[in-house]
Amino acid sequence: MKRKLRLKPSVLKVLKILGTILVIFLSLLIFYFIQVNDLTKIGYSKKAANQILIKFKKKDVINIGKNKTLNKAFESEAYKEKNFDSYTKIKYQNHEHLTENINKLLKKGYTNEEISIILAHGTDQDVSEFAKRDKVRYLEEFYTIDFAKIKYYDRYLNYMDSSREDEETSVLIVNLEMDKEEYEDPVVVKNFSYDMLVNKHRMLSKDFVPNDLVMIGLDYASEKGLKANRTALIAAKKMIDQAEKEGYQLVINSSYRSYEDQEEIEKTYRDLYGDNYVSKYVLRPGFSEHQTGLSFDIGSRRANVFAKSEEYKWIVENCYKFGFIYRFKTDFEEITGIRHEAWHYRYVGKKIAKYIYDNNITLEEYYVRFLDK
């Protein structure tokens, strides 16, 4: 039996109203999604797009187009309407407190350009610290140098005042911790790498051991039991073989030395020559590059004074081809803090070795300019 469904007029009326509400609601929802989509498709996050709509800034944002600093500002609770224009102009950095720090720096009176510079020269934490201090005067003098760090501002200024060096030298020296006394408050280098930097301001801990230590046979070494990093040793052997082909007789006299070995050396020399000699000529344990397994003291098998040998002349001109640098040249004494050593060669890999050879710079300077990010 069939029966047609008949609704009471009052029920029908309620349904009509509900239907209308639903249609309006769905239309609004679709409208909203279109609005959000307009913003997300030009590079804003959903979270930022929401805030842009709530703050009625869609038209402005669309005109500006994609802008990472602005996106981050809209995502942040710290967004300030009066700083909108600055957010569009300040160069983005991937910092957690980007918007907060921009607000603080603007309040201190920095321009948008200055804030871009500050942000580019430090971590989020460095910039947060910097934003707490009063406005500094000499910003661009230091921060046109791309490896200058915002956290060292005072040290740059102090070093420059006391030394009368130029900005670039001051930045270089401070980045290398060389505004401090030798051995004072050194950086502890933890990871092994072919481009690692160890000197009187950057030490290795007692338990640091290089990767892949292997023994060196008497065919390449002047004594038994010497060890070195495998890759560095392969390169050293190639260099010694090539030298031999050309008529030069190189030999490895010393290579890897542990922390304990260096302690032993220090003790021996102290007993022999006294404290004064040791503090002047013997590196403290942890501060010798020989602990990296990448350094070799090279001699000639036929001359006693290496610096006067034909082998020395050959290695100076050829070591870079095998990935080695002439680490302690006379010209470098002021930066390395080590008196000239004709015999000491350090493996860094071919690319860096060639750059250092071509430009006649120290490993320290290379580190500051290209490795210390």
Residues of this chain that interact with Zn ion (CB under 5 A) are: 297, 344
* 141: CB partners within 8 A, 6+ apart: 167
Catalytic residue chosen out of the listed positions 165, 341, 364, 365? 341
Least Cβ distance, residue 298 to Zn ion (angstroms): 9
Question: Is the Cβ–Cβ distance between 298 and 345 less than 8 Å?
Answer: yes
Question: Is the Cβ–Cβ distance between 348 and 323 less than 8 Å?
Answer: yes
**Cβ closer to Zn ion: 103 or 262?**
262
Both tokens of 246, joined, read 């050309």
Integer-rounded Cα radius of gyration of the chain:
32
Least Cβ distance, residue 325 to Zn ion (angstroms): 12
**Cβ closer to Zn ion: 44 or 256?**
256
Both tokens of 79, joined, read 């967004």
Least Cβ distance, residue 297 to Zn ion (angstroms): 4
* 79: CB partners within 8 A, 6+ apart: 51, 55, 73, 99
Q: Does 310 participate in catalysis according to the annotation?
A: no
**Cβ closer to Zn ion: 155 or 344?**
344
Least Cβ distance, residue 283 to Zn ion (angstroms): 9
**Cβ closer to Zn ion: 105 or 235?**
235
Least Cβ distance, residue 248 to Zn ion (angstroms): 20
Q: How many CB atoms neighbour CB 74 within 10 A?
A: 25
Helix locations, the chain, DSSP H:
9-40, 46-54, 58-64, 68-75, 84-89, 98-108, 112-120, 124-130, 140-143, 153-163, 167-175, 230-245, 259-273, 275-281, 310-318, 333-336, 350-359, 363-366
**Cβ closer to Zn ion: 104 or 344?**
344
Least Cβ distance, residue 295 to Zn ion (angstroms): 5
Residue nearest to Zn ion (CB): 344
Give the burial string for 94-125 (b: 16+ CB within 10 Å, else e). ebebbbbbbbbbbebebebebbbbbbebbebe
**Cβ closer to Zn ion: 126 or 297?**
297
Active-site positions read 341
